[in-house]
Amino acid sequence: MITLIDRANNFKARTAIISEGKQFSYEQLLTDSLSLAQELLDGRKDLNEDRIGFIINPGFDYVKTQWAIWRAGGIAVPLHPKAPLASHEYVLKDAQVSQLVVDSDKTSAYKEIADQLNIRLIIPKASSEEAGFALPEIALNRRAMIVNTSGTTGNPKGVVTTHSNIEHQITALTKAWEWSAEDHIINVLPMHHVHGIINVLSCALWSGATCEFASFDAEKILYKLAEGKANVFMAVPTNYYKLITAYEALDTDQQQKISEGIAKMRLMVSGSAALPVSVLEKWREITGHTLLERYGMTEMGMAISNPYRGERRPGHIGQPLEGLQVKIVDGQLKEVPSGEQGEILVKGPNVFKEYWNKPEAKHDTFTKDGWFKTGDVAIDDEGSYKIVGRSSVDIIKSGGYKLSALEIEEVMRSHPSIRDCAVVGLPDEEWGEIVAAGIVPSSNGFDPDEMKAWLADRLTGYKMPRVYHTMVDLPRNAMGKVVKNDLKQLLASIKKDAV
């Protein structure tokens, strides 16, 4: 039994979802997801962990589709609606997706690729409830979801979580952050990412609360937060930076109205990237809220959080959530004393089951005794963890996304004007990090504007380099390997003057 969905029976009359100005109850969510589950099953008794992809804009149809897949016994594979077709094609092939659910306006775009890959294409429609339809019994140890994450290899890896993993990820947060049925959250986060799927949507629905979907327009969101209906908000540092900028553009009366309204909210959270202390302090000055910072990954949901009640230290991510073990180790996997930096390791029922069809990747990210190696470097600073860096320069955290530099490089190298390239992240107050590229051009020369237009069809927007710099060769060591730390220093020093 999927506890998240079963709990909805306790809240049938309450509003579960608000999207596009419409309200949808928990009862309607149960009814409509049952109808779509029946369509997905298509006469079968159980999907038996078939991978079901869905490219649905955030809103009621997204949630209905996610729940329908789970209720039919499938593995949900959410994809970013704005990602290029080539990116989706890779995921659909890698996960061996058998059915793909898409919004009606995407049918023509995906019909050809669905036909090529022998994938059944489905468009969600209004409920056609059939009483007495039997659904399969779903054990909590069954696989529930594959969320693709960019790792240290060029192509994304499919992170597989079970229903039990998801339940533990949800309950750790609903307890720590004191969720209740009276909560109302505005969701502006991507729904192919654990931040939006677990921290916002699933925690709200577990609790009987309301999740209101909204596109992120900074000024509109300021007024929505201030109007008094919502009492919880979660976003990435880039969002808060833009909210501050929008606030500063308002006149004094408007600013006062915004500040007074937001001050009444219960909880405001920042995550998915390091929150600059300057942003935290400015937001606190505007709203009275000290943003709650937390730490997690696609592979484990959240593992560490500042307290809901108690001191939230700027620049710190807090303490381990209940039921989780966390330690900091050196290069030999020996625990380091408090105050010394090392890699964060995590163990607990929240940690993912496997990488889809990549057993060697899982082997590389776990210790022999079952600790997950996060790749992030931190210190235990008097009882509160503080992130100080990451163990791989090939991971870039920008706008709440964790990006693979190697994936971006692989795409760029296929362009005829590039002989070689290397991609790194440069510190940026708004984005956390921005993507920057060192370019060794071919004899054809290099035009950054032409490159941007070419990449737009091959990379999602947040993966696009913001800085380009041409050079005769990339910095290398004696073995010929690119020294990315040297490249980062070089590009940071010339960032303002880069091409």
DSSP 36-53: HHHHHHTT-S--TT-EEE
Per-residue pLDDT, 200: 98
Span between the terminal Cα atoms of the chain, in Å: 56
Cα-based torsion angle of the residue sequence 194, 398, 321, 362 in order, rounded to the nearest 10 degrees:
70
Say what percent of the chain tops pLDDT 90.
76
Per the model's pLDDT, the better-predicted residue between 416 and 350 turns out to be 350
pLDDT digits (tens, 9 = 90+) for 457-471: 999 999 999 999 999
The pLDDT, as a whole number, for residue 482 is: 82
Q: What is the pLDDT of residue 267?
A: 98
Q: Name the band, by pLDDT with cuts 50, 70 and 90, for residue 219.
A: very high
Distance of CA 234 to the CA centre of its chain: 12
Report the pLDDT value the prediction gives residue 154, as an integer from 0 to 100. Answer: 58
Residue 171 in tokens: 């309950």
pLDDT (0 to 100) of residue 325: 97
> Which residue is listed with tokens 């833009």?
242
What mean pLDDT is predicted for residues 101-130? 87
| pLDDT (average), residues 76-91 | 91
**pLDDT band (50, 70, 90) for residue 129:** low
Radius of gyration of the chain (CA): 23
- Establish if 488 belongs to a structural domain: yes
Confidence band for 381, pLDDT divided at 50, 70 and 90? very high
3-state helix, strand, coil in the chain (%, to 5): 35, 25, 40
| Per-residue model confidence (pLDDT) at position 280 | 94
Residue 423 pLDDT greater than 90, yes or no: yes
CB-CB contact of 53 with 99 (8 Å):
yes
Of the candidates 4, 126, 23, the residue with the CA atom closest to the CA atom of residue 67: 4
Comparing 391 with 23, the larger pLDDT belongs to 23
Asked if residues 291 and 270 have their Cβ atoms less than 8 Å apart, the reply is: yes
Spatial strand order in the sheet of 467-470: 418-428, 432-441, 467-470
| Spatial contact of 14 and 184, defined as CB atoms under 8 Å apart | no
Determine the average pLDDT of the residues in 203-232: 97
- Residue 344 contacts by C-beta under 8 Å, 6 or more apart in sequence? 295, 303, 326, 327, 328, 374, 376, 377, 378, 385
Residue 435 lies in a domain: yes
Q: What percent of the chain has pLDDT over 70?
A: 96
Residue 331 burial (10 A CB sphere; 0-12, 13-18, 19+): exposed
Residue type, 99: Q
DSSP state for residue 192 in the 8-state scheme: T
Q: Determine the average pLDDT of the residues in 466-485.
A: 82
Q: What average pLDDT score do residues 79-105 get?
A: 92
CATH at residue 399: 3.30.300.30
CB-hemisphere CA count at 13 Å for 388? 14
d(CA 300, CA 166): 9
Which pLDDT value is given to residue 57?
95
Angle formed by the axes of helices 405-412 and 448-455, to 10°? 110
The dihedrals phi and psi of 425, each to the nearest 5 degrees, come to -105, 135
Number of domains in the chain: 1
Higher pLDDT, 459 or 476: 459
Is residue 367 over pLDDT 50?
yes
| Per-residue pLDDT at 498 | 44
Residue 152 has pLDDT above 60, yes or no: no
Give the integer Cα–Cα distance in Å for 337 and 341.
9
Q: Which token pair is 288? A: 């009275």
480 lies in a domain?
A: yes
Q: With 70 as the cut, is the pLDDT of residue 151 above it?
A: no
Place of tokens 């959270």: 269
| CA-based nearest residue to 371, from 392, 409, 345, 334 | 345
The count of C-alpha atoms lying within 13 angstroms of the C-alpha of 243, restricted to the half-sphere facing its C-beta, is 29
Segment 370-396 shows an average pLDDT of 87
Range of the domain at 412: 395-497
- Does 406 fall in a domain? yes
- Residue 84 falls within a domain, yes or no? no
In a domain, 186, yes or no: no
Question: What value does the mean pLDDT take over residues 229-250?
Answer: 94
What is the residue-averaged pLDDT of the chain?
92
Q: Tell whether the model's pLDDT for residue 401 goes beyond 90.
A: no
Q: What is the pLDDT of residue 496?
A: 54
Highest mean pLDDT among 112-116, 221-225, 362-366, 449-453: 221-225
Please give the structure tokens belonging to residue 76: 């949900």
Spatial CB neighbours of 52, under 8 Å, sequence gap ≥ 6: 40, 69, 72, 74, 75, 76, 77, 97, 98, 99, 100, 101
Tokens of 152: 């240290």
Q: In this predicted structure, what is the pLDDT of residue 153?
A: 47
What count of other Cβ atoms lies within 10 Å of the Cβ of residue 259? 16
DSSP conformational letter for 476: B
C-alpha–C-alpha distance, residues 180 and 379, integer Å: 33
Predicted pLDDT of residue 362: 87
Task: Please check whether residue 200 lies inside any domain of the structure.
Answer: no
Chain segment 171-201, per-residue pLDDT in tens: 999 999 999 999 999 999 999 999 999 999 9
70, 24 Cβ separation under 8 angstroms: no
Q: For residue 366, is it within any domain? A: no
CA distance 240 to 246: 10
> Taking Cα atoms as reference points, which of 271, 298, 296 lies closest to residue 148?
298
Tokens of 231: 């009492």
What's the CA dihedral at 381, 350, 166, 280 to 10 degrees?
10
